[in-house]
């Protein structure tokens, strides 16, 4: 088994390197599909529709999401018209990734053939040696939109020059705000603040409405405070770690500005309210009940506020990340289990491409999404640039069900996406403490908090070497 796999990979590599080695050298019959197209690299060719192959895949929408579940089934049927011999064995465990089962599955090598991960999981998956290098399989032919995928997204799925996953969705953080409260406070709901100075001013006006309304809110628990610190630091142009990821790099004027801002809004302006240590979804709950003016978040928070908390799309707007120098970018992707056969990898790529990366199909079939009563027009995912982006925007506008103009300020400003640092959770946990201290301790010393956090993060990073 292992030798066979090794041989195949050698063949694939050799072929890709342009050596005149015929695909017939492949030892096993199941690879027969590759030999058809002469002159093309074996691994890089798309899946032969005649190949019989079964793949297991997770993150099928659960029964609580009937519309999305129905779409998944439809897409599998449509996909099977193209590839009748591919059997997709879907798993609908919810949530798609749960830390304890994810770790246990990697340890036990029991994840599905095509498995869901977050952008930040690559390190963990590689440490467990549980993902196949798919560099050779992904090209303009297997994933036609490849050239338009945001390079910063692909970068998060790449390690030492090797690609390990294909993205399915992503988000860029921005400023979410309550348009209703903006109007009540006499602010222009089409012109959200873009700098922290403006946010402070607007927050004061919103908080002046009284009745328990806060101008601005932020998370500071379960590592989400660290996550938002990172997003806000990126907005000001800062970085969490040095380029090589070995040292902390946030003890800078920008880092200080982030904490100082929060401190000032909490204690000087009194616009953040006395209740702190908030975590997901507290801010959304507050905003959907019109108790919160602004916070930093991702576009799909709007979906949550409407679908789960029964708010109205009209009430929520989105502006660019304050500072505008960078926006934290996160998302999810599929990776391919170590030991999968080339055909399984090809089938998996074909399915991911069909469902998540093809305009007009799968998640980009906006007409269907609209017909199924799901929202169309939110500025997410944000995977593409170039001509694909234009096509996407046009298709989205044609079927829009949500007030797209509410996100115009967010879309108008192109803030470069910046991915999360490696080993994000451990770094976030340290910064969580700093953010929490600033928001709960009136005597907090910002400089000391930052330098303490810096030395702790350096310790964490040194341990990982």
Partner 1 sequence: MADTSTRTLISETQLNRPLGRAVYWTVLVLVVTAFTLVFLGPLYWLVTGGLKSTQEVIQNPPTFFPQQIHTDTYTEAWSKLNMGRLLFNTLYYAFGALAFQLVFDVAAAYALSKLRPVLGSLILGMMLATLMIPSTVLIVPQYLTVLDLPLLHLNLINTPWAIWLPTVANAFNIFLLKRFFDSVPEELMAAAAIDGASPLRALWSIVLPMSRPILGVVSIFAVVNVWKDFLWPLLVQPDPKNQPLNIGINSLSVGVPQNVVIAALAIASVPTVVFFLIFQRNIMAGLTSGGLKG
Partner 2 sequence: MAAISVSARRKTEPPAHADPSQGRAALRQRFRRHLTGHGFLLGALLCFAYFSWYPMVREVIMSFQKTKRGKTTWVGTENLDRIFADPDFWHAWRNTLLFTVLALVLGFAVPFVVAVLLNELRHAKAYLRVLVYLPVMLPPVASVLLFKYFYDPGYGLFNAILKSLHLPTSAWLNSPTTSMLSVVIAATWMNMGGATLIYLAALQGIPGELYEAAELDGAGLLRRIWHVTIPQTRLILSLLLLLQIVATMQVFVEPYLLTGGNGPRNSTLTVVNLIYQYAFSFNNYGSASALGLVMLLVLAGFSALYVRLSRTND
Q: CB neighbours of 66 closer than 8 A, spacing ≥ 6? A: none
Interface characters, 276-295, with partner 1 (x: CB under 8 A): ---------x--xx-x----
The Cβ-side half-sphere exposure at 332, using a 13 Å CA radius, reads 14
CB of 180 to partner 2, least distance (A): 18
Name the strand (E) or helix (H) holding 336. strand 327-336
CB of 338 to partner 2, least distance (A): 8
CB of 405 to partner 1, least distance (A): 25
Q: Does 20 bind partner 2 (CB under 8 A)?
A: no
Q: Does 94 bind partner 2 (CB under 8 A)?
A: no
Q: CB neighbours of 78 closer than 8 A, spacing ≥ 6? A: 354, 361
CB pairs under 8 A, 24+ apart, for 6-12?
8/342, 11/42, 12/41, 12/42, 12/43, 12/136, 12/342
Compare residues 363 and 456 and give the one whose CB is closer to partner 2. Answer: 456
Q: CB neighbours of 19 closer than 8 A, spacing ≥ 6? A: none
Query: 288 is in the binding site of which of partner 2, partner 1, none (Cβ under 5 to 8 A by kind)?
Result: partner 1
* Residue from 103, 440, 445, 459 in contact with partner 1 (CB under 8 A): 103
* Residue from 102, 171, 216, 295 in contact with partner 2 (CB under 8 A): 102
Residue 115, strand partner residues: 335
Is residue 335 within 8 Å of residue 425, measured between CB atoms? no
Interface characters, 127-146, with partner 2 (x: CB under 8 A): xxxx----------------
* Residue from 156, 271, 286, 341 in contact with partner 2 (CB under 8 A): 286
Query: Buried b vs exposed e over 110-122: b needs ≥16 C-beta within 10 Å?
Result: ebbbbbbbbbbbb
Please provide the size of the chain in residues. Answer: 465
CA angle 173, 179, 180 (to 5 degrees): 145
Query: 304 is in the binding site of which of partner 2, partner 1, none (Cβ under 5 to 8 A by kind)?
Result: partner 1
CB of 64 to partner 2, least distance (A): 16
Q: Does 73 bind partner 1 (CB under 8 A)?
A: no
Which positions lie near partner 2, rule CB under 8 A? Answer: 99-100, 102-103, 107, 123-124, 126-130, 212, 220-223, 274-279, 285-286, 289, 291, 423, 425-426, 429, 432-433, 436-437, 440, 456, 459, 463
């Amino acid at each position: 088994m292992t030798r066979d796999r090794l041989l195949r990979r050698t063949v694939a590599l050799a072929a890709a390197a342009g050596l005149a080695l015929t695909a017939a050298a492949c030892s096993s019959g199941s690879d027969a599909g590759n030999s058809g197209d002469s002159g093309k690299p074996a691994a890089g060719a798309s899946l032969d529709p005649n190949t019989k192959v079964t793949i297991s895949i997770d993150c099928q929408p659960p029964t609580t999401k009937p519309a999305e579940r129905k779409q998944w089934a439809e897409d599998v049927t449509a996909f099977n018209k193209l590839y009748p011999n591919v059997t997709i064995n879907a798993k609908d465990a919810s949530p798609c990734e749960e830390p304890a089962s994810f770790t246990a599955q990697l340890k036990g090598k029991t994840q599905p053939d095509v498995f869901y991960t977050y952008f930040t999981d690559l390190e963990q998956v590689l440490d467990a040696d549980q993902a196949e290098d798919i560099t050779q399989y992904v090209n303009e032919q297997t994933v036609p939109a490849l050239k338009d995928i945001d390079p910063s997204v692909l970068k998060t799925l790449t390690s030492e020059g090797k690609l390990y996953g294909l993205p399915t969705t992503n988000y860029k953080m921005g400023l979410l705000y309550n348009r209703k409260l903006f109007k009540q406070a006499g602010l222009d709901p089409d012109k959200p603040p873009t700098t922290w100075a403006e946010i402070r001013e607007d927050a004061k006006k919103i908080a002046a409405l009284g009745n328990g309304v806060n101008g601005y809110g932020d998370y500071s628990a379960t590592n989400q405070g660290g996550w938002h610190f990172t997003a806000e630091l990126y907005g000001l142009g800062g970085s969490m770690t040095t380029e090589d990821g070995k040292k902390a790099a946030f003890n800078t004027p920008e880092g200080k500005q982030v904490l100082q801002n929060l401190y000032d809004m909490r204690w000087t302006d009194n616009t953040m309210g006395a209740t702190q240590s908030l975590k997901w979804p507290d801010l959304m709950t507050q905003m959907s009940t019109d108790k919160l003016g602004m916070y930093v978040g991702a576009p799909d928070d709007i979906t949550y506020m409407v679908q789960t908390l029964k708010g109205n799309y009209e009430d929520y707007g989105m502006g660019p990340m304050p500072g505008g120098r960078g926006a934290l970018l996160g998302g999810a992707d599929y990776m391919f289990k170590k030991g999968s056969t080339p055909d399984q990898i090809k089938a998996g790529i074909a399915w991911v491409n069909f469902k998540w990366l093809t305009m007009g199909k799968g998640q980009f079939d906006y007409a269907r999404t609209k017909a199924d009563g799901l929202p169309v027009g939110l500025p997410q995912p944000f995977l593409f640039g170039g001509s694909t982006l234009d096509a996407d925007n046009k298709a989205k506008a044609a079927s829009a069900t949500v007030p797209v103009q509410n996100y115009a300020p967010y879309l108008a400003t192109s803030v470069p996406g910046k991915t999360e640092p490696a080993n994000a959770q451990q770094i976030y946990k340290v910064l969580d403490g700093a953010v929490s201290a600033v928001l709960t301790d009136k005597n907090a010393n910002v400089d000391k908090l930052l330098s303490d956090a810096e030395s702790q993060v350096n310790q964490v990073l040194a341990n990982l070497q």
